[in-house]
Amino acid sequence: MLQGFFQIALTLLLVVKLTPILGSYLAEVFMAKKTFLDPVMTPLERLIYLLGGIEPKENMTGQEYVIAVLVSNTVMAILVFLLLMFQGWLPLNPTLVGMPTWDTALHTTISFLVAADLQHYLPETTMSYLSQIAALGFLMFVAPATGLAVGIAFIRGLTGRPLGNFYVDLTRSITRVLLPFAVIGALLLMLAGIPETLAGPVTVTTLEGASQAIARGPVAHFESIKMLGENGGAFFGGNSAHPFENPNGGTNLLQVVAMLLIPTALLHTYGIFMNNLKQTRLLFWMVFAIFVVSIGVTAVGEYQGNPAVNALLGNDQPNLEGKEVRLGWAQTALFAITTTATMTGSANGMFDSLMPPGGFCALLNIFLQVIWGGMGTGAASLLVYLFLTVFLTGLIVGRTPEFLGRKIEQREITLVSVIILIHSILILLPSAIALAFFEQLAGIGNPGFHGFTQVIYEYASAAAGNGSGFEGLADSQPASTALWWNLTTAFTLWMGRFIPIVALLLLADSLSHKQSAPASTVTLKTDTRLFTGVTAAIILILGALTFFPVLALGPIAEAFQIATGA
């Protein structure tokens, strides 16, 4: 037990030490200061701007930034969809896979476009190497880069600066952040034993004398950007539980740290932009505290094991169902909470096999979306809750709601409400329809409270851009239920991504044009422990009020069921 918790503590300590270093680097990149990559990347960026007809010093309005995001992402989605549909006639297809069904291709395209990577197919038998590299791998760079660009634009607007240029932010997100770090990560993973080859499957003879084909491919670079970019998409069906994606404890450590690097660092970056590191430290430790509690609750639940199984064994054993023995219960608990907190969505064990406390914490992370959150948008969503806290506390104490000297008025609160409410609508409405017709539409593999959680989790994962799943749903076959899941989650994925992005950019644009008033004796200070505590309470209360009935009917009810032996 102590060894497992020591591993968790060591990993978290490493993240805490790396956060200010990477946060300062991100600030240098997006404030156009000199970095060590200038000699290599500056000429490349100039060439990209020249070929794309981009004027790098031209700032966009909020509306122009929104249009650039939507148009570029739509064009990329069309190109990737066509590549997937015609992969059977294209090269780099050693397994000779044909084209997927149109609804699977559409769902996969949208899923990777929004950095969710929710997969309703088996990668080894559905996607060619070209599709994995040129289609899905391409989106695994541009999707997180889009989120990072939006997050930086929001921070600029919040601090009174122009929003910047989307195409410049997108380019710099890739050339200065994702690409160099992904290359380093890929090299480390290759050294740790993860394959990187264009050769086809290898056929071996098993101990029983039978022949078995073992899939392989260009995995190391795919795995690197999968974690660093908070994508989570698997090269193999087993995701990070597969030995070719995550062979040992060393690679598991690299993957957990990679998931946390950028979302934790962005809070420090925000502090540099607004020249107030005190507030960002308070925000960081607030989120870190909730994160650690979630890990602790999950880890204790997995260590205590299943009472029904322990009764059969005659002694207490950790819950090892759905886990890789080489990683163990502690690393599975840490990975599960990290991947749901950062919206990565990868998995080194079966979420379906988590004990109810783990399922509860994983769901809560996806519901809240601010316990680190998605690439760029997670930090922005956390700052949105600061707006809401300022507004509510201002009403309580009778002060004019202001943030960084700018008044929060009807327009800003309306946009904040859209950002917060759209998430619950996109989860609860389609879930209610699926559960109302669970035999015809949902295809639930596990009845009762656990099956209820499976349905809710699928839409929550899609709406949050997470991509992990409780499984147990007929989302790949038969065709009737697969069509339902592909189309409804594709809609949820698209709306859950772009409606908040549009609202965030419009909110940032509105704030960037407001005059900043100097602080006075009646100004509500936001860089205090009291205000940070109130913010944490509002985040948790809103999450509890909105989703408590769902949690009560899912993991909480299942926990009581297991405890009572019902």
Locate 221 and state its tokens: 């670079």
Place of tokens 């539409």: 441
Domain extents for the chain?
21-202+215-275
Residue range 305-313: mean pLDDT, rounded: 82
Residue range 201-216: mean pLDDT, rounded: 88
Place of tokens 């309470």: 537
Q: Which stretch of DSSP H or E encloses residue 493?
A: helix 479-512
344: phi then psi, degrees, rounded to nearest 5: -75, -50
Using an 8 Å Cβ cutoff, are 179 and 88 in contact? no
Three-class secondary structure of residue 276 per DSSP: coil
More confident residue, 465 or 410: 465
Residue range 196-211: mean pLDDT, rounded: 88
Over 90: is that where the pLDDT of 231 sits? yes
Three-class secondary structure of residue 467 per DSSP: coil
The predicted-structure confidence for 441-461, as pLDDT tens digits, reads as follows 667 777 789 888 999 999 999
b/e for 182-212, b at 16 or more Cβ within 10 A? beebbebbbebebbbeeeeeeeeeeeeeeee
pLDDT value, residue 518:
66
Three-class secondary structure of residue 359 per DSSP: helix
Over 70: is that where the pLDDT of 521 sits? no
Band (402; pLDDT cuts 50, 70, 90): confident
Percent of the chain exceeding pLDDT 70 equals 97
Residue range 360-365: mean pLDDT, rounded: 94
Angle between helix 277-304 and helix 328-341 axes, rounded to 10 deg: 140
The predicted-structure confidence for 329-348, as pLDDT tens digits, reads as follows 999 999 999 999 999 999 99
Band (393; pLDDT cuts 50, 70, 90): confident
Over 90: is that where the pLDDT of 519 sits? no
pTM passes above 0.85: yes
The predicted-structure confidence for 5-52, as pLDDT tens digits, reads as follows 889 999 999 999 999 999 999 999 999 899 999 999 999 999 999 999
pLDDT, the chain, mean: 90
Over 70: is that where the pLDDT of 523 sits? no
The predicted-structure confidence for 48-64, as pLDDT tens digits, reads as follows 999 999 999 899 999 99
322 φψ region: left (φ > 0), alpha (ψ -120 to 50), beta (else):
left
Percent of the chain exceeding pLDDT 90 equals 62
Three-class secondary structure of residue 89 per DSSP: helix
Using an 8 Å Cβ cutoff, are 385 and 495 in contact? no
pLDDT value, residue 276:
86
Using an 8 Å Cβ cutoff, are 115 and 229 in contact? yes
pLDDT value, residue 391:
84
